[in-house]
Structure 1
């Protein structure tokens, strides 16, 4: 019985996806919706198959751009999160500024980035970085700030320095928070790169979708949306797998309860 439940649990995302696609197809055919308004999945599949090569070229460009911005966000976010989380003074001084900066819509930065760097890949990388580094900072800082003061006092009484406490206890303690933030940040990085590509690029899925929408080629637009969604799901699952492998000790209680 438990094995059957586990099988259903594993297959549930695929079953739900198939159900949604079938309903989508039935609605488009049943109500005779025009393709330039809402194309059916079969038409999206047909167009995607016919234009597979250009779609893959633009998708790879978006993927590389997103990963570049995401990598910078992880490095900067982790370092800044350690600084913020390990110092209450820095936390109080810097956190309101970061919250205010994160509240600004990142699409507003794209025209500025175009003036600074021109149209191309760099604005997309910077936009992906700007939109994805904040979750990393917040989660790393939260992980470090949850370290009990009593534990710090005990470690200091044993001769541990601030660096020792951070390296041997604080950073391992914040790893579950860090890997949880990566799953959020990678999806946001895709949002940032695609936003920039729609405005300031001549490559990428965002550019492809804008070009297709200008000619009312909605099946190609939806094909681009599906490709972006698929890349987001795959990268999310990769980081979820990495989280389970490297922070298994933090989820032992949850695993045993399940």
Structure 2
């Protein structure tokens, strides 16, 4: 491993550790009260103390997020292909999707509670709804931006619309898809936690709400850190699949060199 690759691997760890050190020093220097901003050492102590509860609720959040994300991937890919393959459908449905995405998702949760009650289902649906739009838009964009010259050449060679879609369109849309997945997985966690704070008796969102009601702010921050870690891990999984499936679409470049 050469020096440049080593630096690239160590940089995220160095930046993360540096931020926690600055946070700790800021709390020590300013003397801010723990119920306002706990130091990282206090957050770690709360994490160790409430480790069983955090583990239970984090697994619940991971389950609801993953379920909603998987549904969003399947539904988003299908609808994205349907929209991107037809200019007429693209023109008709795209404004509807934009309008639906503009609705604050937290406003949907009370409706979901009325329909499905308090529990896991509202969290899964919220994670699905909030991560669905980026996938649809990116897949549709990838299909809609096929060069007209390439499409004309393929038609002259006898390719049908279906063959163009599956042999050219979908492979060309793969980089767009995986770019959207990295965005959607983080949004899915946002949706799950929002729903858990309103309509659940399990999950990190519920744990944070319960902790804040008793002014256990270190536990609240512990929940935030756990959600952040899970988000980074899921992002890394999506990035690994992206490198494996669409490595041909990326070229090593550095605009600063």
Residue 73 of structure 1: aligned partner: 72
Residue 243 of structure 2: aligned partner: 244
User: How big is the shift at 1:162?
Assistant: 1.0
User: How big is the shift at 1:29?
Assistant: 1.7
| TM-score normalized by the length of structure 2 | 0.96
Residue 100 of structure 1: aligned partner: 99
User: How big is the shift at 1:198?
Assistant: 0.2
Residue 162 of structure 2: aligned partner: 163
User: How big is the shift at 1:200?
Assistant: 0.2
Q: Structure 2 regions of 5+ residues with no counterpart?
A: none
User: How big is the shift at 1:5?
Assistant: 2.8
Residue 215 of structure 1: aligned partner: 214
Equivalent-residue separation in structure 2 for 1:106 and 1:126 (angstroms): 10
Residue 190 of structure 1: aligned partner: 189
The ranges of structure 1 where at least 4 consecutive aligned residues each deviate by more than 4 angstroms after the TM superposition are none
User: How big is the shift at 1:253?
Assistant: 5.7
User: How big is the shift at 1:63?
Assistant: 0.2
Residue 12 of structure 1: aligned partner: 11
The CA RMSD measured in Å over matched residues stands at 1.5
Residue 138 of structure 1: aligned partner: 137
User: How big is the shift at 1:50?
Assistant: 1.1
Residue 152 of structure 2: aligned partner: 153
SS at match of 1:249: helix
Q: Structure 1 regions of 5+ residues with no counterpart?
A: none
Alignment of 1:8-47 (within 5 A): 8-47=7-46
Q: Structure 1, residues 212-234: CA drift from partner, whole Å, max 9, x if none? A: 00000000000000000000001
Equivalent-residue separation in structure 1 for 2:34 and 2:5 (angstroms): 39
Residue 118 of structure 2: aligned partner: 119
Q: Is the deviation greater in 2-11 or in 146-155?
A: 2-11
SS at match of 1:247: helix
Equivalent-residue separation in structure 2 for 1:253 and 1:82 (angstroms): 29
Q: Is the deviation greater in 17-26 or in 169-178?
A: 17-26
1:90 matched to 2:89? The reply is: yes
Equivalent-residue separation in structure 1 for 2:6 and 2:169 (angstroms): 38
Q: Structure 1, residues 51-87: CA drift from partner, whole Å, max 9, x if none? A: 1111010000000000000011001100110011111
User: How big is the shift at 1:35?
Assistant: 1.1
Equivalent-residue separation in structure 1 for 2:92 and 2:104 (angstroms): 22
| TM-score normalized by the length of structure 1 | 0.96
Equivalent-residue separation in structure 1 for 2:252 and 2:88 (angstroms): 34
Residue 232 of structure 1: aligned partner: 231
Equivalent-residue separation in structure 2 for 1:12 and 1:152 (angstroms): 43
User: How big is the shift at 1:240?
Assistant: 0.6
